[in-house]
Structure 1
Amino acid sequence: MTRLSHYLLPTEKQPPADAEALSHKLLVRAGMIRQVGAGLWSWLPAGWRVHQKAVQIIREEIDAIGGQEMLMPVLNPAEIWQRSGRYDAIGGELFRLKDRRGADMVLAMTHEEIVTTHIAQVVRSYRDLPQILYHFQIKERDEPRPRAGVLRTREFIMKDSYTFDRDAAGLDVGYEKHRVAYDKIFDRCGLEWYRVDSDVGMMGGTGAHEYMAPCPAGENDVALAPGYAANVEVATATAKPVQLPPALDAPAEEATPGLTTVAQVAEALGVPAGALIKAYPVIVGEDELRLVLVRGDHRVNDVKLANALGASFRPAQASEFAERIGPAGYIGPVGTDVPILLDSALDGDSYISGANKADAHLRGVKPGRDFAFTEADVRSVEVGDTVDGHEIRIEPAIEIGNIFKLGTRYSVPLGASYLDESGTAQPVWMGSYGIGPARIAAAAVEQFADEKGISWPRALSPFDVHLVGLGKPDTEEFALAERLYDELRAAGLDVVYDDRTLGPGAKFADAELLGVPLRLTIGRRTLEAGEIETQVRRGRETGSIGLEGAAQAAADLWATLP
């Protein structure tokens, strides 16, 4: 029984002072979450109901593709992470500690190492494969900037599942099963979502997709065009054309005193920014200097660049490149003795670049003729670029799930192998698949809330019906509300009943803030009219149902809601 007179729902009139994301503001105001510390949140009863609604949908769909639920520990021996190579590869986000015996331990941010270790211990033959294992478990991640309520935290619950197969073809099957399951999960949760190409990142492997829920609070940008969707970290598109100056037989020097930015040089020389070459010196590994070139109207994409270089890098300081290339603000590719990586959008024959000396630039620079290079796509796509002739648009979005083809990234270092039909040892092929229930909840708030509060999709709402009783005890309307409460529950509806001794304004404000899909109100006017007032939360549409058969009528109305 859920009566607000005895339910912990500490609603607030004002959001937290530091809240920026709408979901942060409303989940706190609606009494669903409370902060413990930076990036650490408690889910209060109503919020936990939402979280667990998402968990149950996920569980049902993963079970449907053959998933076997288990549970692995958050506290892991560091030795397993050292064997996989991630103990050192992951930076400060991995919590590291020692136990009382001085043994190195980690708090798991994901569980590839542990589940692969189990497979290595128990799988012996090709007959033992394939397998799909999953769990819901707390993850720990030492985020440098926890923010946006439950969207970017240091502790969260994630569903991570893992497929284990004999070969790449088997992995493709497991991956496709999860793709279908994830599509169903987000559809059932009532979200607007995209499945986009993404970078494998610290997970490693051969391929990945992310599931994104578009909303203004999103920390990721998604590039979209008809038939195309990708995280901007990996998105590729045909660059918007740019008008280049006339070609020259050889570069010609142009005086540009004090002009060090693309905008300044473009204006002074009367050319568009895209006619310039932007030079970006980087240090690869420990001390290797390289020069990355993009169009003046483009930006270097760090993820693409790291993938193209095949190594980590950092921006070079002026003191590290001045002697070998030239002064900051005037560097370019002509005459340099460092390796050059040219973005593939620099495909014209007459650009303007730095002259590698103060107060001067070069006109008529032609890649290939005037300098040697290797080529790769290392820029971020821009609005106005095209895919198959269609202009892309870029939208912010929340990452709500991801799927990875890991291949043998973990099975080889952790010794997960099997004997094939001929008795030959082969490495197990692996996939990894994650979903954050908290992010699903936050995305739903972001996408459907209005100026009055939350508007939950029916599948995620903490309750089915919000019953508001306006009568005082010992009145006929109070007795009717009590009777309807029992009848609604008997009809199979999950009901929150506001039986508090508050005025109508306070009760209605809390109901709209909480965001249950259907509100029923019983008061004096209900009895006089012989009807019960209804309000559909999405759009706040009001109506009525008759007193006779009200519970079934409410159930029928609820079943039609999004």
Structure 2
Amino acid sequence: MRASNYHINTLKEAPAEAEVVSHQLMTRAGMIRKLAGGIYTYMPLGLRVIRKIENIVRQEMNAAGAIELLMPVVQPAELWQESGRWVQYGPELLRIKDRHDRDFVLQPTSEEVITDIARNEIHSWRQLPVNFYHIQTKFRDERRPRFGLMRGREFTMKDAYSFDRDEAGALASYDIMYGAYMKIFTRLGLEFRAVAADTGSIGGTRSHEFQVIAETGEDLIVYNPDSQYAANIELAESGPLIAERAAPGRDLEAVATPGAAKCEDVAAFLKIPLETTVKSIVLATEPAEGPARIWLLLLRGDHTLNEIKAAKVPGLKQGFRFATEAEIVEHFGCKPGYLGPIKTVKPVHVVVDSTVAMMHDIVCGANREDFHYVGLNWGRDLPEPEAVADLRNVVAGDPAPDGKGTLAIQRGIEVGHVFFLGTKYSEALKATFLDESGKPATIQMGCYGIGVTRIAAAAIEQNHDDKGIIWPRPIAPFEVVICPVGWGKSETVRNTANDLYEALRERGIDVLLDDRDARPGVMFAEWELIGVPLRVTVGERGLKDGVLELQARRESEATKVGLDEALDQVLAKLDTL
């Protein structure tokens, strides 16, 4: 490719709404252009990156035995109504009507359509297992699209769906996809981590996220540096931090704590460790009939509630909300900030975090404004807690659940997710097959997604500096850019650059020759912004000494190489990138 025949349009400044590095740099480098909120045109440079990501994904999916098809972007509402997600999915599901007033959706995912295919195409156990995938446009009507391709409304995703005769077969298919994903993200040249995760709205019972490590990531990844344990913070296990509860050391006493409505304020006022305090979180559930049920969750003062874990507590599984102030006053006789489990006005359902269940001489709210109890002990001042659960987010330094060392936390960007679905969708849509005995059986399913366009943004979040993007070689728009200095003035420069360009093309290298005759400073800055992994500079001054200059995007200094060995040196340098 020659720059004079290509479209390159970089910008000095990023748009004001570009909050994250990937959005800023993709816009400045001319890779994307905004059309509407969360909707972008992929410009030629950006599309080259996306196509390279797609090719790696496609190659590994094919190698893993998956079969490519292509499902529509527009899907009939009937399938979503049949699965129950027409209502469950919420406002992110963009609903539209055709000219006949029939309901359709712009697909955010394809579980319903692929299950419909399975129930119509798969009839016998002899057709199983099978795994279908496609790479297709998705649309999710985000309330607040932001961060460019990181959280857009329209995006490209690879989703795959496996179909098996039984759970053992489905888990084997899951493992195959897990292995394929490990190969995909390794080939993409990204630092990543596979972590155990919650299944979320997709459903199912087994799930892993693939997270690109980046300080700007929205997700917190919990891992054990001394073992293979890794999990999203939503799922990371946090057992009791106290092995055995100590005996009471003081009597229960209500003490004045004027204006101290937070555990941090109480600890400072009483000059006690924050770890001796307990915070009260009040939730409400809505039964089919009657008033709301009120729940009191107790966590140590320095810990935070994990809502995903709370949603797994019996009684809270069907959904909960935070209680209103009026409901709190009605049940506790006190406004928030001074709440506790002793002497509530009306009965509440108490759930205790596993660490709080092992504490003694607890400091907690007294259900009286400006007062807290000190010296609260289980079994003496309150019955032993009946409902004990893991309710909190882990923190760095917690003991690892596998018993090997302590946990660390880093940030990541989710770019892939694999789920074992079981029969969640096949039961709802009645996707069955005849087993070996000729009896109907429900198909077991798995689903596997990769955010193709999100990977491009995540790669930049992980790989950039103050000059611009630093693409990993496998997904860079070009692997090599040849920058001739004095293109319009020197025939020797032109001939040398052309010869190297043709030689690299013959070797299958994705190379661009910048023949626009730009000033060196402008040309170099533009390609540093775009992030091509290797730059070759051809200048008349160097040619007089028989040398060219090679500079990897990640390196601060150029290397001079002899003209007669330039091709071999470029190829050797690429092998290190």
TM-score normalised per structure 1: 0.96
1:303 to 292, 302, 308: 308
Equivalent position SS for 1:247 = coil
Equivalent-residue separation in structure 2 for 1:300 and 1:557 (angstroms)? 50
Which piece of structure 1 moves more, 364-373 or 296-305? Answer: 364-373
> 1:4-30 CA distances to partner (integer Å, 9 max, x unpaired)?
223211111222222232211211111
RMSD: 2.0
What corresponds to 2:337 in structure 1?
Answer: 329
**Match of residue 293 from structure 1:** 298
Amino acid at match of 1:130: P
1:434 is the counterpart of 2:442: no
> Is the partner of 2:391 in helix, strand or coil?
coil
Asked if structure 2 preserves the Cα contact closer than 8 Å seen for 1:470 and 1:523, the reply is yes
Cα offset, 1:406, TM superposition: 0.5
Q: How does 1:80-159 map to 2 (within 5 A)?
A: 80-159=79-158
1:386 corresponds to 2:386: no
Give 1:512's match in structure 2, choosing from 503, 516, 528: 528
- Matched with 1:340 is 350
Q: Is the 8 A contact 1:245 1:275 kept in 2?
A: no
2:455 partner SS: helix
| Cα distance, 1:475 vs structure 2 | 2.6
- Counterpart Cα distance in 2 of 1:260 and 1:474: 75
Separation in structure 2 between the aligned mates of residue 552 and residue 489 of structure 1, nearest angstrom: 13
Distance 1:472 1:292, change over 3 A: same
SS at match of 1:410: helix
Once residues 254 and 246 of structure 1 are traced to their aligned partners in structure 2, the CA distance between those partners, rounded to angstroms, is 21
Match of 1:320 in 2: 327
Tell me, yes or no, if the aligned pair for 1:239 and 1:381 is still in contact at 8 Å: no
- When structure 1 is superposed on structure 2, of 95-104 and 399-408 the one drifting more is 95-104
SS in 2 for 1:92: helix
1:293 is displaced (CA, Å) by: 1.2
The question of whether the paired residues in 1 share the 8 Å contact of 2:31 and 2:42 is answered with yes
Instruction: Check if 1:349 corresponds to 2:364.
Output: no
- Greater Cα offset, 324-333 or 67-76: 324-333
Secondary structure of the structure 2 residue equivalent to 1:516: coil
Q: CA deviation at 1:420?
A: 1.4
Give the distance between the partners of 1:334 and 1:377, measured in 2 at CA.
22
Distance 1:472 1:122, change over 3 A: closer
Q: Which amino acid aligns with 1:333?
A: P
Once residues 496 and 258 of structure 2 are traced to their aligned partners in structure 1, the CA distance between those partners, rounded to angstroms, is 85
Deviation at residue 129 of structure 1 after TM alignment: 0.8
- Is the counterpart of residue 480 in structure 1 residue 481 in structure 2? no
The secondary structure found in structure 2 opposite 1:488 is helix
Gaps of 5+ in 2: none
Equivalent residue, structure 2, for 1:13: 12
Residue-by-residue CA offset, 1:225-264 (whole Å, 9 max, x unaligned) = 2322111111113465699997268633223333221122
In structure 1, distance between residues paired with 2:170 and 2:489: 66
Q: Distance in 2 between matches of 1:545 and 1:103?
A: 67
Q: 1:401 aligns with which of 411, 416, 437?
A: 416
Contact in 2 for aligned 1:488/1:552 (Cα 8 Å): no
Aligned pair count?
Answer: 560
Query: Which stretch of structure 1 is more off in the superposition, 101-110 or 65-74?
Result: 101-110
Judge conservation of contact 2:250–2:361 (CA < 8 Å) in 1. Answer: no
Q: Distance in 2 between matches of 1:82 and 1:462?
A: 42
| Contact 1:545-1:554 at 8 Å conserved across structures | no
Letter in 1 for 2:341: P
* Partner in structure 1 of residue 467 of structure 2: 452
Could you say what secondary structure the match of 2:91 adopts? coil
Following the alignment from structure 2 to structure 1, what is the Cα–Cα distance between the partners of residues 379 and 74?
54
Alpha-carbon distance in 2 for matches of 1:376, 1:239:
10
Equivalent positions of 1:208-287 (< 5 A) are 208-225=207-224, 226-227=226-227, 228-238=229-239, 247=248, 251-285=252-286, 287=292
2:570 is aligned to 554
User: Whole-Å Cα distance in 1 between the matches of residues 377 and 165 of structure 2?
Assistant: 50
SS of aligned partner of 1:330: coil
Q: State the shift of 1:124 in Å.
A: 1.4
Contact 1:276 1:353 in 2 (8 A): yes
Q: Partner amino acid for 1:121?
A: N
Q: Which moved more, 1:58-67 or 1:305-314?
A: 305-314
Comparing 341-350 and 150-159, the one that deviates more: 341-350
Deviation at 1:269, TM superposition (A): 2.4
Aligned partners of 1:246 and 1:364 also within 8 Å: no
Q: Deviations over 1:337-365 (max 9, x none)?
A: 11111111212232122122223222222
Q: In 2 relative to 1, CA 324–557 (structure 1 residues): closer, same or farther, beyond 3 Å? A: closer
C-alpha deviation, 1:474, in angstroms: 6.1
Whole-Å separation in 2 of the counterparts to 1:83 and 1:536: 54
- Aligned match of 1:522 in 535, 538, 560? 538
Task: Name the SS for the 2:331 alignment partner.
Answer: coil
Q: Partner letter of residue 319 of structure 1? A: A
In structure 2, C-alpha distance between the alignment counterparts of 1:144 and 1:365, rounded to whole Å: 45
For 1:300, the aligned partner's letter is L
Match of residue 427 from structure 2: 412
Query: How far off its partner does 1:513 sit?
Result: 1.3
What is the rounded CA distance, in whole Å, between the counterparts of 2:120 and 2:57 in structure 1? 28
SS of the residue corresponding to residue 424 of structure 2 reads coil
Query: CA deviation digits over 1:419-459, x for unaligned, max 9?
Result: 21222221111000000122222222122212222111111
Aligned residue for 2:474, secondary structure, equals coil
Return the offset for 1:333: 1.1
Distance in 2, matches of 1:247 and 1:181, equals 55
Q: Distance in 2 between matches of 1:274 and 1:84?
A: 46
**Hey, what's the Cα distance between the residues in 2 that align with 1:463 and 1:205?**
40
Q: 1:239 to 1:451 in 2, by over 3 A?
A: farther
Separation in structure 2 between the aligned mates of residue 100 and residue 366 of structure 1, nearest angstrom: 68
Indicate the SS of the match to 1:17: coil
- Mapped partners of 1:548, 1:447: distance in 2: 36
* Cα contact 1:242–1:275 (8 A) shared by 2: no
Q: Which piece of structure 1 moves more, 19-28 or 539-548? A: 539-548
Comparing 167-176 and 11-20, the one that deviates more: 11-20
Question: What do residues 391-428 of structure 1 show as CA deviations (whole Å, max 9, x unaligned)?
Answer: 32221111010000101010001011112122222111
C-alpha distance in 2, partners of 1:472/1:403?
51
Q: Secondary structure at the match of 2:541?
A: helix
SS in 2 for 1:174: helix
Gaps of 5+ in 1: none
Shift of 1:203: 0.5
SS of the equivalent of 1:500 reads coil
- Bigger CA drift: 439-448 or 205-214? 439-448
Whether the 8 Å CA contact 1:491–1:551 is kept in 2: the answer is no
Give secondary structure in 2 for the equivalent of 1:87.
helix
> 3-state SS of the aligned residue for 1:406?
strand
Separation in 2, partners of 1:136, 1:368: 59
| Separation in 1, partners of 2:190, 2:477 | 16
Aligned equivalents of 1:258 and 1:56: distance in 2? 61
Tell me the secondary structure at the aligned position of residue 535 of structure 1: strand
Task: Quote the Cα distance in structure 2 between the aligned partners of 1:366 and 1:153.
Answer: 50
